[in-house]
């Protein structure tokens, strides 16, 4: 199967069986896991064992009659490879045992499909760029327009509208709307940022070609692409809240009317989330006993409610235009909103107290581990510590996610929801940091150097906080980076990179205008529709079809990239027809 290799274990020890166990390099402080008992080969080829190829493995060989460790081998097996492990005695007098690992058949290069896909999309991008450059040449542009609209061109030539004045007027702007640049009053960088995060999220949700590095970390660890996507979406939602509320209040909407819109939108997001996150109703009636309550849209809805209501409550006329005097001009985008910052600090204190002080039955206080075989199997039912306990206590075990990412490597058996209650606190903090980015854009409107300078400053501050909290370590910090827990170090780390990414896109799209934001701009304009659509139609053609080889990364990658590209095309067509689903 994918992510597996075949290991033939040949036991040439006389009249002695072996115990073969393995320990994954990605499993922190884990118990070794039994792979097989290997009897003496007696001339046979050996006992076949399937081993994992996602991470380096440590193979442990022990005698089955209580002897100590005979061999310890660290090796990173290759996918679909065929290996032999020969265990034999070198010297009968000293009973020295040797373990020799040999490659019978080399592994396949499972990363080639990624290279081919990269070349294909690079080629398409090159064609589009060349086409865009050619369309700037008047003869080429006129010829294309004539081919696309031959009847309209003939009518203009043969009718009264074909007079010199009308023709000149027509020729002055011969390009159809397909190539018009349009108005740039709206910050395209925000929609581009949102669309980029959304499209990668869609690709990952569809399977990411079944590559392990396109999946979430099992527990603590480095930030892979998937682990940072939801946080970026939350971040840019906060930025949009700042700009949209400012616009509505500036155009004379009352706070009560705006609050009504906030409540309605939050309600719709939570309702849609509950509908989308649960099983397809065409497969049978939904059991309310197993209804999952938390989810991505539910968390977005509640986060939006808190952050938007907080911003509306403390909105001050003239603050965002810089007319309100502050004792420190360098902090003019922060000091006018000090009540919001106090509220956020209080929320963070609540998260810290619940996480580290709440007693959890059968678990050490302040436990942040995955449970299962982690921590040498001492706390198998403590997955997520206080966060998991609160969800199971308030929502019930059957109403939260049943297959957390920790179940694969750490073999956890307890349900745990990465969109649970306690983590929502830090999601609100993440959105608030995005809100701060929006205030920077408002305070320093058209002052691009100041905006980019503030983004760099905030990114640096968040990075320093992350370094302190984690001690620049995966496992040994005060608070490790953990997407499942939405730890505060996860928030500061992802916001550090979010500020940098927004800075880069803002510079390219809105400052220098070197990039229009396409194609990510289009799904960014219809984000709710694309997200819900990709969830609802995930198992329908043309987004999914029966594959000839379900163990092929190439087929999975082709299917997932095709489905993702289709949503980009759909969002582009909707944009062309000015169809936007707003809630």
Place of tokens 């309600």: 267
Q: What CA–CA distance (Å, rounded) separates 264 from 246?
A: 18
| Rounded Cα gap, residues 455 and 507, in angstroms | 11
Residue 300 to residue 232: CA distance in whole angstroms: 12
Most confident of 76-85, 131-140, 185-194: 76-85
- Residue 97's H or E segment, with its range, is strand 96-105
Structure letter (DSSP) for residue 399: G
pLDDT given for residue 500 in this prediction: 96
Averaged pLDDT for residues 454-463: 96
Q: How far apart are CA 189 and CA 506, in angstroms?
A: 5
Q: What confidence category does residue 16 fall into, taking pLDDT thresholds of 50, 70 and 90? A: confident
How large is the average pLDDT for residues 224-230? 77
CA distances from 223 to 231, 264, 489 (A): 11, 34, 11
Q: What is the pLDDT of residue 185?
A: 58
The answer on pLDDT for 323 being more than 60 is no
Instruction: Using alpha carbons, list the distances in angstroms from residue 429 to 97, 259, 310, 416.
Output: 57, 20, 12, 22
Q: In a 10 Å sphere around its CB, with 0-12 CB exposed, 13-18 middle and 19+ buried, how is residue 470 labelled?
A: buried
For residue 376, the tally of other CB atoms under 10 A from its CB is 9
Q: For residue 495, what pLDDT band results from cuts at 50, 70 and 90?
A: very high
Distance CA 576, CA 533 (A): 18
| Cα distance between the two ends of the chain | 43
* Average pLDDT of every residue of the chain: 86
Q: State the helix-helix crossing angle for 188-205 and 488-505, rounded to 10 degrees.
A: 130
DSSP 314-367: T--TTTTTT-S--S-GGGTTTGGGHHHHHHHHHHHHHHHHHHHHS--TTS-TT-
- Which pair of structure tokens corresponds to residue 252? 């004379």
Strand pairing class (47-52; 4-11): antiparallel
By percentage, how much of the chain surpasses pLDDT 90?
Answer: 57
What pLDDT, in 10s, does the model give residues 517-546?
A: 989 999 999 999 999 999 889 888 999 999
For residue 160, name the pLDDT band (cuts at 50, 70, 90).
Answer: very low
Q: Which two tokens stand for residue 388?
A: 């998991």
Assess contact for 18 and 63: CB atoms under 8 A: yes
Which residues are the active-site residues? 216
CA distances from 70 to 61, 485, 518 (A): 5, 39, 59
Give me 405's structure tokens: 């990412």
Beta bridge partners of 38: 18
Q: How many residues does the chain have?
A: 583
Domains and CATH numbers, the chain: 4-105 (2.60.40), 112-149 (no CATH), 188-284+291-317+331-577 (no CATH)
pLDDT tens for 366-389 read 999 999 999 999 999 999 999 999
Under 8 Å between Cβ of 192 and 524: yes
pLDDT one-digit tens code per residue, 243-262? 999 888 888 888 899 999 99
| 3-state DSSP of 25-90 | CCCCCCCCEEEEEECCCCCCCCEEEEEECCCCEEEEEEECCCCCEEEEEEECCCCCCEEEEEEEEE
Most confident of 3-12, 43-52, 133-142, 346-355: 346-355
Candidates 100, 97, 10, 89; CA nearest to 47 is 10
Give the pLDDT confidence of 279-295 residue by residue, as tens digits.
655 555 667 778 889 99
For residues 258 and 312, the answer to whether their CB atoms sit within 8 Å is yes
Distance CA 147, CA 437 (A): 46
Tell which wins on pLDDT, 344 or 14: 344
Residue with tokens 């996610």: 401
| CA-wise closest residue to 220 among 59, 363, 77, 28 | 28
| Per-residue model confidence (pLDDT) at position 180 | 35
Q: Which helix (H) or strand (E) holds 571?
A: helix 553-576
Q: What does DSSP assign to residue 221?
A: -
Of residues 523, 521, 511, the one with CA closest to residue 567: 523
pLDDT band at 454 (very low <50, low <70, confident <90, very high): very high
Show the tokens assigned to 231: 């946080």
Minimum mean pLDDT among 133-142, 430-439, 530-539: which range?
133-142
């Amino acid at each position: 199967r994918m992510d597996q290799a075949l290991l033939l274990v040949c036991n040439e020890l006389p009249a002695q069986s072996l115990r073969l166990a393995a320990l994954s390099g990605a499993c922190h402080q884990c118990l070794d896991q039994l792979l097989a008992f290997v009897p003496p080969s007696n001339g046979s080829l050996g006992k076949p064992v399937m081993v994992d190829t996602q991470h380096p493995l440590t193979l442990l060989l022990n005698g089955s009659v209580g002897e100590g460790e005979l061999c310890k081998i660290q090796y990173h097996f290759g996918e679909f490879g065929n290996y032999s492990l020969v265990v034999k005695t070198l010297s009968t007098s000293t009973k020295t045992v040797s373990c020799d690992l040999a490659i019978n058949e080399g592994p396949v290069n499972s990363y080639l499909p990624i290279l081919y896909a990269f070349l294909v999309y690079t080629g398409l991008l090159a064609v589009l760029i060349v086409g865009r450059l050619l369309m700037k040449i008047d003869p080429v542009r006129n010829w294309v327009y004539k081919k696309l609209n031959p009847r309209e061109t003939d009518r203009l030539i043969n009718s009264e509208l074909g007079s010199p004045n009308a023709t000149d007027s027509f020729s002055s702007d011969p390009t159809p709307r397909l190539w018009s640049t349009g108005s740039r009053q709206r910050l395209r960088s925000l929609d581009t940022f949102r669309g980029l995060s959304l499209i990668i999220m869609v690709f990952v949700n569809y399977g990411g070609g079944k590559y392990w590095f396109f999946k979430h970390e099992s527990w603590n660890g480095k930030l892979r692409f998937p682990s940072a996507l939801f946080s970026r979406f939350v971040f840019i939602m906060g930025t949009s809240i700042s700009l949209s509320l400012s616009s509505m209040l500036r155009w004379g909407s009352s706070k009560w009317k705006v609050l009504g819109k906030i409540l309605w939108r939050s309600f719709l997001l939570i309702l849609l989330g509950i509908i989308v996150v649960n099983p397809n109703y065409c497969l049978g009636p939904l059991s309310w006993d197993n209804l999952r309550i938390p989810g991505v849209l539910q968390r977005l809805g509640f986060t939006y409610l808190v952050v938007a209501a907080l911003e509306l409550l403390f909105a001050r006329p003239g603050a965002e235009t810089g007319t309100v005097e502050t004792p420190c001009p360098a902090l003019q985008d922060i000091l006018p909103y000090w009540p919001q910052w106090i509220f956020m600090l209080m929320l963070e204190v609540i998260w810290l107290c619940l996480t580290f002080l709440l007693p959890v039955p059968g678990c050490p206080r302040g436990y942040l581990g995955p449970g299962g075989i982690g921590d040498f199997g001492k706390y198998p039912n403590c997955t997520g510590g206080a966060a998991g306990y609160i969800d199971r206590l308030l929502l019930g075990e059957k109403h939260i996610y049943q297959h957390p990412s920790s179940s694969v490597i750490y073999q956890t058996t307890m349900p745990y929801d990465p969109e649970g209650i306690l983590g929502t606190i830090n999601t609100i903090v993440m959105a608030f940091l995005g809100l701060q980015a929006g205030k920077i854009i408002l305070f320093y409107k058209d002052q691009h150097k100041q905006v980019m300078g503030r983004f760099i400053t905030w990114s640096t501050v968040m990075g320093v906080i992350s370094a302190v909290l984690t001690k620049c370590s995966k496992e040994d910090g005060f608070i490790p980076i953990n997407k499942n827990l939405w730890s505060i170090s996860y928030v500061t780390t992802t916001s550090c990179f979010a500020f940098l990414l927004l800075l880069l896109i803002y510079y390219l799209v809105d400052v220098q205008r070197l990039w229009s934001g396409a194609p990510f701009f289009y799904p960014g304009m219809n984000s709710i529709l694309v997200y819900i659509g990709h969830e609802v139609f995930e198992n329908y053609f043309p987004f999914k079809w029966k594959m000839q080889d379900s163990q092929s990364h190439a087929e999975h990658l082709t299917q997932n990239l095709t489905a993702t590209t289709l949503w980009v095309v759909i969002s582009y067509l909707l944009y062309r027809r000015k169809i936007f689903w707003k809630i």
